[in-house]
Amino acid sequence: MKVILLQDEKKLGKKGDLVEVNDGYARNYILPKKIGMEANARNMNDLKLRKASEEKRAKEQLEAAKELAARIGDKTVTVSMKAGENGKTFGSISTKEIAAALKSQHDIEVDKKKIVLPDAIKTFGTFEVSVKLHPQVTGTIRVKVEEA
């Protein structure tokens, strides 16, 4: 019997795959546990439509990420930080502060989890910080750290 998988199954395949299994295995395990559905003409058509919809959504997300990367590419964000004696800083700049400064200064909202800091920013100056907007798209912003 041919079955369309509704979720990833370790020994069978990934979600959306069309697999051939024994009739008893399909009737007694796959169908009752909603792991898959029978591959008839209607379900095959639904699968094609779902895959087309997912591809369209993925393409739209990629385009949106490219557009956002172009918008943030030339932006500089200024963050103030307290300093002690001899110009040493108290603490470091986090991704949360960078995201908040980007939102307040340029009205661009980026999730703090997408901002990648290789090392903590603990000194004054200008730094290049990458922003992973999509698995294929990475943008870069400049962060200028000033004394408060």
pLDDT, tens only, 40-94: 999 999 989 989 999 999 999 999 999 999 999 889 999 998 887 777 788 889 9
Tell me whether strands 115-116 and 76-81 are parallel, antiparallel or unpaired: unpaired
This prediction's pTM: 0.72
Separation in Å, CA 75 to CA 66, 69, 116, 127: 15, 10, 16, 12
